[in-house]
């Protein structure tokens, strides 16, 4: 009976579907293993070249039977031979921890709508033979040796030597660096202060590039322009322009070196900004452009005017 079983193992079962020469098979690389050893099972689907349209493989779980376990499930490889036969191959790794004869159930495939099955296989799992003169003993417990500094140094001699050499090199570098004379103090380069007029003009140019009013930010656009103008006036003419209302600032500037045209130009810009900020007036594109152009013209035209206020 065992001889018949072995014949079945080495000749995998194959079926042929109608009209297409298609076969499936399952083959073991060995039928006899010891407990815990592994055996490789090859699943194969063969057919005419380019004739295999649809192949549904069997579902492989963690176990094939109560005593046969699946250790690994490989990918599906496609092999083409010179005889115009395509072969789809899938390899499984099996093991068993119980001695005896254990059956591997047949595998069911669905190839182009036709169900095909392989033959069942048989694995013989043999136990390990014991010496009849010997006796069974339990596993010896792990013995921990006491720590030995000298043994540790010998085991890590390369790392210890490298560490000592690195410390010596670092110490030598520090010693020679400390012996060098202290470097002379390097004076920080003197940065020329940017004139007030240039600073404000640069700020206005940067604000114009942000294109605030083109994005609907009219209030922010006018607020930032007037803040730059007020800051310029406060720093140049020493008046509290940032904290004053428009009327208060205009009264302060009546006795300033500004002429009537310049004061009128400044008043028009401050009044328009107040309307936008507080009355929520929507300025036209021309008014927005004139606001920036007027601010630049005001700063440039007042650059040569003396900063002292005319108190008399």
Q: Where among 71, 99, 126 does a domain terminate?
A: 126
pLDDT band for 130, please (50, 70, 90 cuts): low
Residue 233 belongs to some domain of the structure: yes
pTM of the model: 0.40
Degrees, nearest 5: CA angle 84-89-92: 165
Q: Are 75 and 90 in contact (CB under 8 A)?
A: yes
* Confidence class for position 144, pLDDT limits 50, 70, 90: confident
Does residue 226 lie within any of the structural domains? yes
Q: What percent of the chain has pLDDT over 70?
A: 84
- Treating both helix axes as pointing N-terminal to C-terminal, what angle do 218-237 and 260-278 enclose, rounded to 10 degrees? 140
10 lies in the same domain as 120: yes
CA distance 202 to 257: 24
Q: Are residues 7 and 122 in the same domain?
A: yes
| Residue 12 contacts residue 26 (beta carbons within 8 Å) | yes
The answer to whether position 228 is within a domain reads yes
Residues 11 and 121 in one domain: yes
Mark whether 121 and 11 lie in a shared domain: yes
Q: Is 245 helix (H, G, I), strand (E, B) or coil?
A: coil
Within a domain: residue 26?
Answer: yes
Give which of 311, 307, 312, 271 is closest to 290, Cα–Cα. Answer: 271
Do 10 and 119 fall into the same domain?
yes
Query: Reduced to 3 states, what is the DSSP secondary structure of residue 222?
Result: helix
Residues contacting 63, CB < 8 A, separation 6+: 69, 70
Q: How many structural domains comprise the chain?
A: 2
CB 101 within 8 A of CB 123: yes
And the tokens for 195? 């004139």
**Are 200 and 291 in a shared domain?**
yes
pLDDT at 1 over 60: no
Average pLDDT over residues 124-142: 76
Report whether pLDDT(8) > 50: no
Asked whether the predicted pLDDT for residue 5 surpasses 60, the reply is: no
* Rg value, the chain, Cα: 48
Q: Write a three-state SS string for 17-30.
A: ECCECEEEEEEECC
The residue that leads in pLDDT, 138 or 64, is 64
Beta bridge mates, 33: 125
Q: What is the pLDDT of residue 121?
A: 94
Which pLDDT band, with edges at 50, 70 and 90, does 293 fall under? Answer: very high
CA gap 28, 12 in Å, rounded = 9
Does a structural domain hold residue 294? yes
Q: Is 189 within a domain?
A: no
For residue 138, being part of any structural domain is answered with no
Among residues 78, 107, 126, the one where a domain terminates is: 126
Average pLDDT, the chain: 83
Q: Return the half-sphere exposure (C-beta side, CA atoms, 13 A cut-off) of residue 53.
A: 4
Six token digits for residue 304: 């040569």
**CATH at residue 75:** 2.60.40.10
3-class DSSP state of 288: helix
The token pair at 54 is 């649809």
**55, 88 Cβ separation under 8 angstroms:** yes
Would you state the pLDDT for residue 181? Answer: 57
Domain of residue 112, residue span: 2-126
Q: Which of 91, 126, 161 is at the close of a domain?
A: 126
**From CA 44, how far away is CA 28, in angstroms rounded?**
12
Q: Does a structural domain hold residue 102?
A: yes
* Residue linked to tokens 């085991």: 155
């Amino acid at each position: 009976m065992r001889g018949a079983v072995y014949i079945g193992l080495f000749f995998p079962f194959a079926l042929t579907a109608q009209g297409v020469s298609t076969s499936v098979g399952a083959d073991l690389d060995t039928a006899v293993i010891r407990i815990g050893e592994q055996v490789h099972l090859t699943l194969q689907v063969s057919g005419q070249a380019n004739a295999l349209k649809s192949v549904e493989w069997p579902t492989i779980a963690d176990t094939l039977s109560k005593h046969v376990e699946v250790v690994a499930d490989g990918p599906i490889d496609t092999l083409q031979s010179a005889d115009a036969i395509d072969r789809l191959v899938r390899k499984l790794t099996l093991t068993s921890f119980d001695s005896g004869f254990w059956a591997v159930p047949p595998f069911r495939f669905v190839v182009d709508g036709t169900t095909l099955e392989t033959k069942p296989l048989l694995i013989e799992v043999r136990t390990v033979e014991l010496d009849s003169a010997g006796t069974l003993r339990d596993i010896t417990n792990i013995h921990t040796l006491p720590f030995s500094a000298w043994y540790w140094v010998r085991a890590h001699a390369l790392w210890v030597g490298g560490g000592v050499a690195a410390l010596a090199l670092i110490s030598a570098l520090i010693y020679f660096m400390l012996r060098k004379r202290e470097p002379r103090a390097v004076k920080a380069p003197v940065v020329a202060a940017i004139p007030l007029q240039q600073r404000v003009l640069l700020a206005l140019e940067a604000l114009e590039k942000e294109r605030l009013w083109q994005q609907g930010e009219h209030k922010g656009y006018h607020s930032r322009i007037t803040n730059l103008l007020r800051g310029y006036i406060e720093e140049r003419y020493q008046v509290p322009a940032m904290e004053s209302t428009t009327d208060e600032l205009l009264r302060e500037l009546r006795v300033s070196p500004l002429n009537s045209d310049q004061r009128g130009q400044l008043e028009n810009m401050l009044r328009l900004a107040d309307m936008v900020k507080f009355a929520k007036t929507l300025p036209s594109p021309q008014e927005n452009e004139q606001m920036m152009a007027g601010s630049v013209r005001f700063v440039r035209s007042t650059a040569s005017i003396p900063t002292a206020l005319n108190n008399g």
